[in-house]
Structure 1
Amino acid sequence: MLPAVSAFLGRLSSLFRRRRMESEMSEELEFHRERLREKYLREGMSEPAAERAARVRLGDTHRWQERLREVWSFRIVEELTRDVRFSLRLLWKSPGFTSVALATLALGVSANTAVFSLIDSLLLRPLPVPHAQQMVVLSTQEGGPQPGYSFCTPFFRGLEGKGDVFQNVFAFVNDTLQVRGESGNINVHGVMVSGQYFPAMQIKPVMGRYLTPVDDQEGGGSSGFAVVISEDFWKSWFNGVPDVVGRRLVIANASFTVVGVIPKSFTGADPTHQPQIYAPLSADPIMDAPRDHLHGGTHAWWLTVMARLQPGVDLQKANAALQAVSTGVLHASTGEADWIKDEEQHHFHFAAEPGSNGFAYVRSVFRKPLLMMFGMCGGLLLLACLNLASLLLARGAVRERELATRRALGATRSRLIRQLMIESLLLAALGTGLGMAFTPIVGHVLAAMLSGGSGPDSMVLDISPDWRLYGFAAAVAFIAAVLIGLMPAWRATEGDLNEQIKNGQHAQQQRRQTRLIPRLLMTSQVALALILVSGAALLAASLVRLYRSGLGFEPHGVINIPFSMDKQQLDGEPLMEVYRQIWEGLKTAPGVKDVSFQFIIPLSHRGWNGRYAAPGGERHMLWLNSVGPDYFSTMRIPVAQGRAFTWTDTKASGLKIILNRSAAKLFFPQGGAIGRQIVDKDKTAYEVVAVVGDAKYRDVRGPAVPAGYVPMQQDPQQKPSLNAIVRIDGPWQPLVQFSRELAARLVPSIPAPVIRPMDEVVDTSISTERMMALLGVFFAGCSLLVTAIGLYGTLSYTTARRTNEIGIRIALGAQRRRVMAMIFRENAVVATIGCGAGLAVAVSLSTVLTSFLYETSTRDPWIFAGATFTLACVASAASLLPALRASGIDPMQAIRSE
């Protein structure tokens, strides 16, 4: 073995058997001393003389021990170990400083890592499939700024067989499935997939097999329709029985055969959902009956399409191939020549983009808010680091005499800087660890804000930690250590050694006070805090104005109770009679004031529209809703003219419609809409029986769209699934059991309804604005707290260093209130400069928030004035206590202590 390798291995082993080697080293030195003593005895020396001569010849044993340790030990490791132990003792002896430092860092780190875990889950984490980098998402391009990710069946089938650049082309659509259990139908989140879905995923089933192209045929495979279930569903629904393959599931009143179980690690191509059941795409006419998207042609845009590239094919080649086949697929999709011509004029073509982390629609909604939030988190972390840097700077000044003494005893400046940096690294590591402990709590709160509900089809985010999160936390700890430790360590070890030992903390005091670095750090803290507080104030003001903008209806006290009627047997008049019985039953519930029905829940991001025209007039887009009697009084929408719907407004009584003010003005600008007619594209006429107030339909931010209401008895659907809307006086929780019992008695085959308050619907519709405002206020509060702690700690250290000076001033006759004013004035100058600098930067950066603001100017002087005043109050409060403490110094005690 090479000597260098042997020496390295010997040193490495010494780390784990130090005591044994120390013992062996002592024994060896004793052995040499004894041999020397015996040699001198043989030469005729006396016993004491031989003992003394042996000790003189061998020398100091401690010196030999140190030399031998240098030979067989890692000196740097030992020094680092000693530095760590010393730093831990110092932190332990300063519990106040350590607690403040760790709490400040934990606050900044937990916020950063929690937001990063959301970004990782939503934007960065790849699908748990082999070679995820080969996955791509397909889209349609029509010359607009945004691609289209919804495909119709003909488009998908036209691309499915393109195997020259793609190994697999597959489609999927998330859906809520009605699965029959022991107590009736239950809503379960599922996904319908095409035959190449699982071959593209290339993962192994827990048992059984996956769906194949044979299963994705009309009527299913040879043994009917097949499904694959998740591992969680297998354990919860089938109790994890080993013979689950071959068992039957009744979905949408049809029988399906379980052919496989998917592993828990795979949750589908959309990472924001966790499907329990995977069904073939060809089962859509059964799953969504009476609707049929599968055969809807170019009128049903319902599929998300992805593909796996062939090995060696890059994205550029795939896009070239898609461009070449776009025209052919377009012409083969439909016989509507006018539609094809219009698409060609808009330069229609297919495109591919990276899809290694799957496809989720919410990415386009939350990408920008999450990145903006991450920037705010970074500002909070930087503020925490500036705070600790100021505290360490002041603390290092107090330790000048100690550090100077250590330098005088032989320690080099680099050695002292290393020890101080290890102290900073320990603080950063412990603060990061504490922050990581709170990350799951903060992350789950943020995920709940994004998901917007807890139903079977609500968004699910996997924020479990992975290597990216741990790597980010390690980077945060390292950066924090450098930011909070380097400058204080450098400053604490500079200066004249003799002066520091003689005069301690007052050496070169006047020169140090003129330096700008400590004041610059405090000024930067105030400026950064003002930027965060100003941004939060703008977001909060925007949210308040958004809530006050007016919805056109009163959501408070209204709950929605959905009744899924599409899979039960009744339709037409018998179904309407069931709805009437539900209406009468709900009226008898305690606390219920009004009851009605609606098909579209306002602001739920669902819509139903069509193009209508007044006789001889131009066609206009009209947003529609199917509603029941007493709807407008229940929703508190004023009826301006005409009458509301009643139970007598059936199809036999003639088609009726109610327009809102915007629609009435659009179709009949001269007025007089009552009694007149509008017609749809099929020339079907509807009589206008009333004009009602405008109500927000799809978006809180924009104006009310032209809308029309049709009676629920005239709903064009065969089996409309309507939502009962109930206005209550009091808590709505008691109505949960009542509505379920009512549904089980009148329509036992439908799933139990899940109540959703209208206030929750409104909050979900503005979830981005709410999230930004709430988190902005949270970060602003944290910023004010960190700034107050930082200013107070730094000013307390600074004031403590001036105890002798202040004592002399008081002894020479200075009034205590003048001393307090002097300290307060010096701190106020720092706060004023920081506020001025922060205000200038905040005004210039506020334009970044423009897209998140509603009727709020990014230059609103009142908001910036309020933010500046708030921060000034916090800075004054942080400065007041050190100033009071300075005015209370006993001059005799201060002079005697020197």
Structure 2
Amino acid sequence: MSHMLRDCWRTWRKAPVVTLVTIASLTLGIGTANAFFAIVDQLLFRTLRIDRPHELYQLSDDDAIARRRPRGYTYRAWEALRDQAAVFEVAFARKTTEVDLATTGESDPASAVWVSGDAFRALGVSAFRGRVLAPSDDVIGGGPHGPAAVVSHRFWKRRFGGSDDAVGRSLTVGGVPFTVVGVASESFEGFEVGRPFDLVLPMATEPLVSGASSFVTTRAGGAMLDVFVRLRPGLEVAAATDALRRAQSTIRQETMPNYRQARDREAYLRAPFALMPAPQGGSLPARYYSRPLTLVLGLALLVLVAVCGNVAAVLLAQGEGRRYEFAVRLALGTSRRQLAAQVVADGLLLAATGAGCGLVLAWWLAPVLLARLSGMGVPIDVGTPLDWRGVWAAVVAALFTGLLCSVAPLLAAKDVDAAAALANRTPGRAHTARLGRLVSAQLAFSTMIVASAALLWASHRGLVQDGTGVHAPDTIAVEMHLDRVDDDVAVRGMEQLRARVSALPGVERAALTQTVPLQGFYMTTIVSSEQSDAIPERDRVVQFQWTSPGYLAAMGTVLLAGRDFADSDSFGRPAVAIVNTALIDKVFAGDRSLPKRLVRPTDDGGAEELSIIGIAENVQFKMLGEEAVPALYVAASQQPHRLDRLRSAVLVVRPQPGSAIGPTLAALLAREQVPFAFTTRPFSYFVDRNTAQTRLLAECAGAFAMVAVVMAATGMFGAAVHWTTRRRRELGVRLAVGAVPGDIVTLVLRQATWRAVCGVVPGLIGAWWILRAASSWVMGAHLELQPLVVSGLGLIGILLLATAWPATRAGRMAPADVLRAE
């Protein structure tokens, strides 16, 4: 072994440039791939840091599992399920929301987890200070000492400075004082892998904060709560599932949510209960990013393969210089097996060195990537990005690359003819052909990565620029939280605020609305018309929101026909509405003539007749990349706001072109004593949150593409140097018989172009096939031919630039010196 290490060191010293290039390539490839693997590992493979995480199950049903999402349950359903003592050792329900810790003015958001009383006992989590929540805290109105709260260790450090007297202090949540009874242990990172929390609150006290719109009230509809269980000792999952399904009919009949559509009610009654393993706590980040991160992991493997091809090409080219060395060793009695062992040792030692340097790069790069990922749609918080699994991944990558990198030199060593090599050091055609095929294969893998990045970036850009139906990227949304004030006070405060903001210099439009696209909150209603009798009810469900005059202009949404709302459209006047083209197409068969009439049901069981006065372009409300849904806008002044409906509203502010109204708007909001809390965000925030998956893929693929371009360029450069060296005599003769340097440059570039095309074209086809197969995995991802062609042509241009220096150097050879050396 020691003599192998000495030979490896001598080989490194003999060709230091080749050694440095090889180690740098391995460092870049293994380090980048390992950093991304660390993120994938932390989100997709890590379990909760609780007692026996693999014995935790989430209650769902077969239909929800088939759709790759867990089933949520109402509070009434949770109460019925909680009583299944014959099946569960312990069970708890959970709902994560954002709460406001401010009393007025700018909101102070915090992540709150509403849990039932047995949550901490079910997870086996203790307190760092004070105590955890108990069943006695989970009662309507709060426990014996009022509403209680447990704060996370991180929130304790940030909010209370790690003070020992934090336990017992009061914390205002949604205007209601909660007493801090404990600080969670530092090792407890949350109820879901990758999703941080600030507060844990008893679920039964949620009506104190949300009022009549609470999900705990008997009127609450919709599937909101996640239910988790631990089975009784000795009870198998199949037996527990059978027991639940026997009780299913009674539970479902008694806890039917307020579904409007018959098909939803039927599905709720029909879908059989099922238990899903939940060692990650039903992690939303893991579920949201699972498929994009799987694609990222696939791209990381492609990067490793491209790096292996690059290093193998370098080592194979270097093998020409070692060919004479191999022949001498064979002539002196070294067996081919010993020679192969030395070549493998060279490759593994190079790979180990590259893996060590790559671990250092990954240790620096992984936190940077994690910080970037944390701002994408779903808040993410994981522990140290690199742990022992990351180290093992680097070791496996080193063995993988080392063995693959040794294949080409092994083939070269196997084909060495000692007598021929001692007589003539010029390699044969087989050696050069093998190098050419290896370079083409490496270029194909690099092209697949570059083309995938181009296609993913094109998809992301298309979603951001064209997918929303909103053409005012500078628009600011002031979200107003109105659930703490009376309805009439809220309406007056909103109108006064809109008037003052409209008067600010630099403001082009300011309007009120119930919600903005992609905010995550929307209402639906059912419409009908004289032409809709034959249309099924499910196709007449439309998005519904009230707006004030100027809303469409403030959002940059184009009004295609008719007019906008006006101040004259007041309460008591004939009700008017604006619809989008999707509603016109579905309900009126594309007839855009105005006016038209619609009827929608009211909450009191009556019907409201609406006159359609305008048609707006389609806007994506729920998610970009999906088919636009029908939308109905009604005049805000004609809607009698009630307290249980007016929980929130949005003031939309559009600045004049070139105006920066952010500081002025912030000063006004701070100065105005508005009676409600608010949150100010640019509309781009909602777009960024909605395009998190495609942006994650695009940015990861972009990083891999840069590595792939470097690998492709260095591989082509090394191959060009090898080709010009091997054909040195031929090129010298050509120059001696009258060829000009430009002819030599053209000859070398022609060969490089052919080799680049042989690698790039299969790579483009492979990228198209991969993303076509995986496009359904990611929201909004779609294929376009233009970025594919541009990326291919761009890569060929870079490869020709990498060949230019060896080609120019070959054209400047002195024929006399070449022939004299021969």
Q: Distance in 1 between matches of 2:581 and 2:506?
A: 32
Aligned to 1:630: 550
Bigger radius of gyration among the two: 1
Aligned to 1:64: none
Structure 1 residue 409, shift from structure 2 partner: 5.6
The one-letter code matched in structure 2 to 1:729 is Q
Closer, same or farther in 2 for the Cα pair 1:483/1:691, shift >3 Å?
same
| 3-state secondary structure, aligned to 1:236 | helix
Closer, same or farther in 2 for the Cα pair 1:658/1:189, shift >3 Å?
same
Among candidates 436, 440, 444, match of residue 523 of structure 1: 440
| 3-state secondary structure, aligned to 1:755 | strand
Aligned to 2:501: 586
Contact conserved, 2:594 with 2:613, CA < 8 A, in 1?
Answer: no
Among candidates 338, 341, 352, match of residue 429 of structure 1: 352
Structure 1 residue 884, shift from structure 2 partner: 2.5
Structure 1 residue 277, shift from structure 2 partner: 0.7
Aligned to 1:255: 177
Aligned to 1:349: 272
| 3-state secondary structure, aligned to 1:227 | strand
1:264 and 2:168 are equivalent in the alignment: no
Moved more, 129-138 or 516-525: 516-525
Give the 5 Å matches for 1:386-425.
386-406=309-329, 412-425=335-348
Q: Distance in 1 between matches of 2:280 and 2:231?
A: 14
- Identity in percent: 25
Closer, same or farther in 2 for the Cα pair 1:231/1:838, shift >3 Å?
closer
Closer, same or farther in 2 for the Cα pair 1:616/1:375, shift >3 Å?
closer
1:598 and 2:513 are equivalent in the alignment: yes
Contact conserved, 2:581 with 2:618, CA < 8 A, in 1?
Answer: no
Closer, same or farther in 2 for the Cα pair 1:231/1:240, shift >3 Å?
same
Contact conserved, 1:807 with 1:891, CA < 8 A, in 2?
Answer: yes
Among candidates 467, 476, 494, match of residue 388 of structure 2: 467
Among candidates 140, 153, 166, match of residue 61 of structure 2: 140
Contact conserved, 2:525 with 2:601, CA < 8 A, in 1?
Answer: no
Aligned to 2:297: 374
Moved more, 596-605 or 315-324: 315-324
| 3-state secondary structure, aligned to 1:613 | coil
Moved more, 82-91 or 247-256: 82-91
The one-letter code matched in structure 2 to 1:631 is Y
The one-letter code matched in structure 1 to 2:402 is A
Contact conserved, 1:315 with 1:353, CA < 8 A, in 2?
Answer: no
Closer, same or farther in 2 for the Cα pair 1:155/1:339, shift >3 Å?
farther
Q: Deviations over 1:67-88 (max 9, x none)?
A: xxxxxxxxx4xx1xx6446645
| 3-state secondary structure, aligned to 1:399 | helix
1:153 and 2:78 are equivalent in the alignment: no
Closer, same or farther in 2 for the Cα pair 1:835/1:257, shift >3 Å?
closer
Closer, same or farther in 2 for the Cα pair 1:769/1:253, shift >3 Å?
closer
Aligned to 2:526: 611
Aligned to 1:361: 284
Structure 1 residue 805, shift from structure 2 partner: 5.3
The one-letter code matched in structure 1 to 2:494 is Y
Closer, same or farther in 2 for the Cα pair 1:527/1:170, shift >3 Å?
same
1:323 and 2:245 are equivalent in the alignment: yes
| 3-state secondary structure, aligned to 2:149 | strand
Closer, same or farther in 2 for the Cα pair 1:807/1:614, shift >3 Å?
closer
Contact conserved, 1:398 with 1:801, CA < 8 A, in 2?
Answer: no
Q: Distance in 1 between matches of 2:214 and 2:682?
A: 31
Contact conserved, 1:769 with 1:852, CA < 8 A, in 2?
Answer: no
Q: Distance in 2 between matches of 1:854 and 1:590?
A: 39
| 3-state secondary structure, aligned to 2:165 | coil
Structure 1 residue 604, shift from structure 2 partner: 2.8
Structure 1 residue 525, shift from structure 2 partner: 1.7
Q: Distance in 1 between matches of 2:95 and 2:314?
A: 55
The one-letter code matched in structure 1 to 2:632 is G
| 3-state secondary structure, aligned to 2:135 | coil
Structure 1 residue 459, shift from structure 2 partner: 4.3
- Normalising by structure 2, report the TM-score: 0.88
Closer, same or farther in 2 for the Cα pair 1:823/1:652, shift >3 Å?
closer
Structure 1 residue 479, shift from structure 2 partner: 0.5
Q: Distance in 2 between matches of 1:512 and 1:419?
A: 22
Structure 1 residue 382, shift from structure 2 partner: 0.6
Give the 5 Å matches for 1:847-886.
847-851=772-776, 865-886=789-810
Moved more, 628-637 or 814-823: 814-823
Closer, same or farther in 2 for the Cα pair 1:647/1:482, shift >3 Å?
same
1:103 and 2:24 are equivalent in the alignment: yes
The one-letter code matched in structure 2 to 1:613 is S
Among candidates 541, 546, 571, match of residue 621 of structure 1: 541
Moved more, 186-195 or 530-539: 530-539
Q: Distance in 1 between matches of 2:486 and 2:552?
A: 25
The one-letter code matched in structure 2 to 1:834 is G
Structure 1 residue 701, shift from structure 2 partner: 2.5
The one-letter code matched in structure 1 to 2:776 is S
Unaligned runs of 5+ in 2: none
Aligned residues: 808
Contact conserved, 1:179 with 1:250, CA < 8 A, in 2?
Answer: yes
| 3-state secondary structure, aligned to 1:746 | coil
Aligned to 2:692: 767
Q: Distance in 2 between matches of 1:311 and 1:467?
A: 33
1:746 and 2:673 are equivalent in the alignment: yes
Contact conserved, 1:394 with 1:798, CA < 8 A, in 2?
Answer: no
Aligned to 1:722: 649
Aligned to 1:888: 812
| 3-state secondary structure, aligned to 1:249 | strand
The one-letter code matched in structure 2 to 1:491 is A
Q: Distance in 2 between matches of 1:156 and 1:552?
A: 39
Q: Deviations over 1:710-749 (max 9, x none)?
A: 3445364424322221111367765257426524532266
Closer, same or farther in 2 for the Cα pair 1:806/1:664, shift >3 Å?
closer
Q: Distance in 2 between matches of 1:526 and 1:341?
A: 52
Q: Distance in 2 between matches of 1:143 and 1:149?
A: 6
Aligned to 1:225: 147
Structure 1 residue 302, shift from structure 2 partner: 1.2
Give the 5 Å matches for 1:442-591.
442-443=365-366, 446-447=369-370, 450-452=373-375, 458-460=379-381, 462=383, 464-492=385-413, 495-501=416-422, 503=424, 505-506=425-426, 509-510=427-428, 512-513=430-431, 516-546=433-463, 549=466, 551-567=468-484, 570-591=485-506
Q: Distance in 2 between matches of 1:849 and 1:142?
A: 23
Q: Deviations over 1:783-802 (max 9, x none)?
A: 23321210111221343344
Aligned to 1:189: 111
Q: Deviations over 1:745-794 (max 9, x none)?
A: 322663xx443222332243233333334444443443233212101112
Aligned to 1:385: 308
Contact conserved, 2:105 with 2:670, CA < 8 A, in 1?
Answer: no
The one-letter code matched in structure 1 to 2:394 is A
Structure 1 residue 91, shift from structure 2 partner: 3.7
Aligned to 2:633: 709
The one-letter code matched in structure 2 to 1:601 is V
Q: Distance in 2 between matches of 1:850 and 1:177?
A: 36
1:275 and 2:190 are equivalent in the alignment: no
Unaligned runs of 5+ in 1: 1-75
The one-letter code matched in structure 2 to 1:787 is A
Contact conserved, 2:480 with 2:650, CA < 8 A, in 1?
Answer: yes
Moved more, 471-480 or 487-496: 487-496
Closer, same or farther in 2 for the Cα pair 1:182/1:388, shift >3 Å?
same
Structure 1 residue 426, shift from structure 2 partner: 3.3
Give the 5 Å matches for 1:331-342.
331-334=253-256, 342=265
Moved more, 616-625 or 87-96: 87-96
